[in-house]
Chain A
Amino acid sequence: MNSTLLSETLIRRLNTAQLVLAGILIMSPTAWMVLSSFKPSFEVTAYPPTLVFSPTLENYVELMQTTPFFSYAVNSLVVTLGSAGLGLLFGIPAAFAVSWTRISWPAVLALAARMAPGTLFLLPWYVMFRQVGMIGSYTALILSHAVITLPIVIWVLLPSFDNIPRSIFEAAQVDGCSITRVLWKIALPLVGSGIAVAAILSFVFSWNYFLFALVLSNGDSKTLIAAAFNFVGEGSTQWGALMAAATLIALPPLVLAAIVQRWLVSGLTLGAVKG
């Protein structure tokens, strides 16, 4: 009895220790980034790092004065919303079709495209977009980022569609729905939370994607994440401004990620069928 209790306590403590360790590992770079953004520039690279310092906004001021930050933010927003929208537009019917037909290879193919390194696409795309004069356009960036968002939408929504009892779709068919109508009138309202999660994850991944924006954008269409790279110079790096930019860039995904948690729990299909 005592040994059981002891081992249970031990396990609980080890669990806590494990979580704390994981938390420190995950959070310390973020904390370092945020703290550095408020440090005077000479303290950012100080070794050993200073934990006590007089916070300053000088890095943010420099960021706003030296870069068209809000223009880049608008670029990021257009590309991110565009690619997330495109991902949803094609991903929702694709996920529904895969779930409906139980033919899964298209979903696997989409996932394979997501898992392949971005550089694999980059060169052919660069050549293609340059030939049609689209380098630097929003369209090129939105299309390329759809490779990120489309698999996310498909794979987030697939289990949501699979979880809807098949008989509900069949009842809708018997009631007079075509397959498109089944998707629109019955399936979509039932996967609302899945769509929210897919949309937010698409937004976050597209917002943070660096490589395509770096190569396929130009000065006018540069996204925040690519613009932040400007602070990394050949001889020196403006760490303070870079950290300020990184902190601001990280804010929208962080806020959205917090919102996602609310949507993850859903009991919408409860009561539809027996039990």
Chain B
Amino acid sequence: MAGISIRNLVKSYGSFTVVPDLSLEIADHEFVVFVGPSGCGKSTLLRIIAGLEPITSGELYIGDKRVNGVPAAQRDIAMVFQDYALYPHMRVYDNMAFALQLRGMPKSDIDSRVRQAAAMLHIEAYLDRKPKELSGGQRQRVAMGRAIVRNPQVFLFDEPLSNLDAKLRAQVRAEIKALSQQLRTTMVFVTHDQIEAMTMADRIVVLQGGVVQQYDTPEVVYERPANQFVAGFIGSPTMNFFAVEWRGDAAVFAADATPAPLDDALGARLRAAAGKAVAGVRPEHFQVVSANASGIPVQIKLVEPLGSDTLIHFEVAGAAAIARVDPSLKPKPGERLFLKPQPGKIHLFDAANGRVLP
């Protein structure tokens, strides 16, 4: 087991820089998820840790060992690939045993490790099959089994759930989480799916343009996003954003100068930011209030019943917005109602650079 330390890492392809200057500490036993949109550098970073991509400059440590230039074969890491990357000519058993055979481990030890991992992943029945005889979910388990038998210092996962259907994805997600708690090995998991990031991670690294936007626990990333990008990326449906201004002695929506429901503390922060900011409210942080409770008057444009919740689409000061409401309200398109952000659930971001306002 080992932690990972990335220090001032730069990764360029010719004149194109993917990761400009990144430093990151992943603690031993920690489950860290790299999340971000396509092209944010998350997979490149994982491949750098794996030793599949060279570092342009900076340092990378796995445990106490500096591994710049150390081949993947000598890093004692295991990786689960997006496309599983099973060896097609080998049986499941041999796929799992391969790395151990390369290390010259005695046959009896290999056998017990493979069978133990197979039992853990419920794939004992498939050990004699070739990968092409397995379903997507089964192949995914074999790929995990191949990593588990190694008992490596670090597990790396490169979007391993993206090829599974929604139901299976949820199931395997839970299994990986359980596995991480059972194995207590350092794990780095790459995904573009923020639900995977939120549900599995001890800490999340939100990346954009090769730059760490926020590195914290899922709760903090969700509750106190560091900037507008993180606020918009984490959470589904995404956070609603409205341009707000301080005009005269009140906060208003910039688009139509109607009153914005900011309390005194938020008003002070808005004034401190030269009177201009972006307010963010998550769909689940709106509450439906009565007409006299100083809520924002809205007209429902679209209703999406999800069963457990209902999403209503509406406009506030010309900006499209979504709120998650109780399905017992039975909202209807065209209906008018009053919405109010829950106390303490409005986020204010700098209008120029998107950073959260202090």
Residues of A within 8 A of B (CB): 165, 167-168, 170-178, 181, 185-186, 189-190, 267-275
Cβ-based interface call for B85 (8 A) = yes
Nearest Cβ in chain B — how far from A37, in angstroms?
Answer: 45
Cβ-based interface call for B87 (8 A) = yes
Q: Known: A167-B81, A174-B78, A177-B73. Contact between A274 and B89, CB under 8 A?
A: no
Q: Are A178 and B73 in contact (CB under 8 A)?
A: yes
Contacting residues, chain B, for A275 (C-beta < 8 A) = 163
A-B contact pairs, 10 of them (CB 8 A): A165-B83, A168-B85, A174-B79, A270-B88, A270-B132, A271-B88, A272-B84, A273-B83, A273-B85, A274-B163
Nearest Cβ in chain A — how far from B75, in angstroms?
Answer: 8
In the complex, the 10 A-B pairs of residues with the closest C-beta atoms, listed nearest first: A271-B132, A272-B88, A273-B83, A167-B85, A175-B99, A171-B85, A176-B102, A173-B72, A274-B163, A189-B89
Assuming A173-B71, A175-B146, A274-B136, what are 18 further A-B pairs, CB within 8 angstroms? A165-B83, A168-B88, A170-B79, A170-B85, A172-B98, A173-B51, A173-B72, A174-B52, A175-B102, A175-B150, A178-B73, A181-B102, A186-B87, A190-B88, A270-B88, A272-B85, A272-B88, A275-B163
Q: Are A170 and B72 in contact (CB under 8 A)?
A: yes
Mask, B304-336, CB within 8 Å of A = 1, is 000000000000000000000000000000000
Contact partner of A271 (CB less than 8 A), chosen from B78, B99, B131, is B131
Q: Are B134 and A271 in contact (CB under 8 A)?
A: yes
| B162, closest chain A residue (CB) | A274
Nearest Cβ in chain A — how far from B266, in angstroms?
Answer: 48
Cβ-based interface call for B128 (8 A) = no
Q: Are A165 and B52 in contact (CB under 8 A)?
A: no
Q: Known: A176-B73, A274-B136. Contact between A190 and B89, CB under 8 A?
A: yes
- Find the residue from A175, A176, A185, A267 having the highest chain B CB count within 10 A: A175
Contacting residues, chain B, for A172 (C-beta < 8 A) = 87, 98
Q: Tell me the bound Cα distance from A264 to B77 in angstroms.
A: 38
Nearest Cβ in chain B — how far from A133, in angstroms?
Answer: 46
Contacting residues, chain B, for A181 (C-beta < 8 A) = 102
Contacting residues, chain A, for B88 (C-beta < 8 A) = 168, 190, 268-272
Mask, B20-54, CB within 8 Å of A = 1, is 00000000000000000000000000000011100
Q: Tell me the bound Cα distance from A269 to B78 in angstroms.
A: 22
Q: Tell me the bound Cα distance from A174 to B155 in angstroms.
A: 11
Total residues of chain B contacting the partner, CB 8 A: 34
Q: Tell me the bound Cα distance from A268 to B99 in angstroms.
A: 21
Nearest Cβ in chain A — how far from B70, in angstroms?
Answer: 12
Nearest Cβ in chain A — how far from B258, in angstroms?
Answer: 50
Chain B, range 92-142, C-beta contacts under 8 Å to A: 98-99, 102-103, 130-134, 136, 139
- Find the residue from A167, A189, A268, A270 having the highest chain B CB count within 10 A: A167
Q: Tell me the bound Cα distance from A259 to B74 in angstroms.
A: 43
Nearest Cβ in chain A — how far from B49, in angstroms?
Answer: 11
Cβ-based interface call for B82 (8 A) = yes
Contacting residues, chain B, for A190 (C-beta < 8 A) = 88-89
Q: Are B71 and A165 in contact (CB under 8 A)?
A: no
Q: Are A175 and B98 in contact (CB under 8 A)?
A: yes
Nearest Cβ in chain A — how far from B33, in angstroms?
Answer: 20
Q: Tell me the bound Cα distance from A172 to B79 in angstroms.
A: 10
Q: Known: A165-B83, A170-B85. Contact between A176 and B50, CB under 8 A?
A: no
Q: Are A174 and B83 in contact (CB under 8 A)?
A: no
Contacting residues, chain B, for A168 (C-beta < 8 A) = 85-88
- Find the residue from A178, A270, A274 having the highest chain B CB count within 10 A: A274
| B83, closest chain A residue (CB) | A273
Contacting residues, chain A, for B83 (C-beta < 8 A) = 165, 167, 273-274
Nearest Cβ in chain B — how far from A263, in angstroms?
Answer: 16
Contacting residues, chain A, for B51 (C-beta < 8 A) = 173-174
Q: Are B99 and A272 in contact (CB under 8 A)?
A: no
Q: Known: A181-B102, A190-B88. Contact between A174 and B72, CB under 8 A?
A: yes
Q: Are A165 and B85 in contact (CB under 8 A)?
A: yes
Q: Tell me the bound Cα distance from A168 to B83 in angstroms.
A: 9
Q: Are B99 and A176 in contact (CB under 8 A)?
A: yes
| B156, closest chain A residue (CB) | A174
Q: Are B102 and A177 in contact (CB under 8 A)?
A: yes
| B150, closest chain A residue (CB) | A175
Q: Are A173 and B73 in contact (CB under 8 A)?
A: yes
Nearest Cβ in chain B — how far from A23, in angstroms?
Answer: 37
Nearest Cβ in chain B — how far from A219, in angstroms?
Answer: 48
Mask, B142-156, CB within 8 Å of A = 1, is 000010001000000
Q: Known: A271-B131, A274-B136. Contact between A174 and B87, CB under 8 A?
A: no
Q: Are B89 and A171 in contact (CB under 8 A)?
A: no
